[in-house]
Amino acid sequence: MDNHELQNSINEFERMIDSRRQGFVMILHDFRPVWDMAREIQGGFNSRVRFPTIEMRQAAWERFRTLRDQASQVFQEQQDQMLDRSLEHRNDILSKANSAEHRAIEDALFFFDRTTVEGMKVKAQQLKNAFAMLSTYKEEMLGEHKQQCHERLREVRESHDLWWSRYKETSAERQSDRQQARESKKDKIRANLESNREKLRTAEERLEKVRDSVRENRSKLEETTSDKWIGLYTEWIEEGKTKIESIESWINTLHEWIREGEEQLDAL
């Protein structure tokens, strides 16, 4: 690397930082390419790339150091904004979940004003709205906050399931209807399980194909000396890695759905 290439890398480093600046963060930008570029430039300075003058080298170094500090600042600002927004969404969702929860102890204490079917329908709609909010804002939330919401919503859903179960058990006149509903639910769960298992098989096959493609592109990248193909293979590898992450996430979701379906069948 000569001083012209190093200067060009610093210019590109600045463009990468500028492209990640935004007034209001909706999603976290991927800063890994920024840090990779910073290490590459640092390596250039460490290798003592020659400049026409000491002053030019010092100016380039100061510019790089300033940009690196700016990158760290932009990254931290976006992290902080994302955290604040994620907390706001989490708190809103948990608030709605708490409102939707059925508390058995309240029915025990206020037996003269117990939760009715209509009341539970209202709570069911509140719970549905909370799930919808999580689905809407999940890309703007941190993983730990999404997990907290998932767990709380699942607890609330379980409180609903428990209420309906007890309600049906104490309604002798609806014994036949309850049995039919149970069998219908089993059939629906079985159908969903089969559908999800088929989706899982398809996703796993797709995952292997993408992995094979990434491995093939990595092999070609190691063999080529063409700047053009180096760029293309690198881009295709990154795209493949992104696809792999997406497919793996989808596979994990399918596994969870299948597990939940199997548990629901066992519970019926």
Q: Please report the sign of the dihedral spanned by the C-alpha atoms of residue 31, residue 33, residue 39, residue 42.
A: negative
140: helix, coil or strand? helix
Q: Which two tokens stand for residue 7?
A: 């200067």
The tally of CA atoms less than 13 A away on the side-chain side of residue 181 is: 9
Model-level pTM greater than 0.85? no
Tell me the pLDDT of the chain (268 aa) as tens digits.
788 898 899 888 888 888 777 654 455 667 788 889 999 999 988 888 889 988 999 999 999 999 998 888 888 777 777 788 889 999 999 999 999 998 776 665 544 446 678 888 999 999 999 999 999 999 888 889 999 999 999 999 999 998 888 888 777 665 776 677 788 889 999 999 999 999 999 999 999 999 999 999 999 999 998 999 999 999 999 999 999 999 999 999 999 999 999 998 888 7
Helix H or strand E segment including 125 = helix 117-137
Domains defined along the chain, listed by start: 179-268 (1.10.287)
CA-only gyration radius of the chain, Å: 28
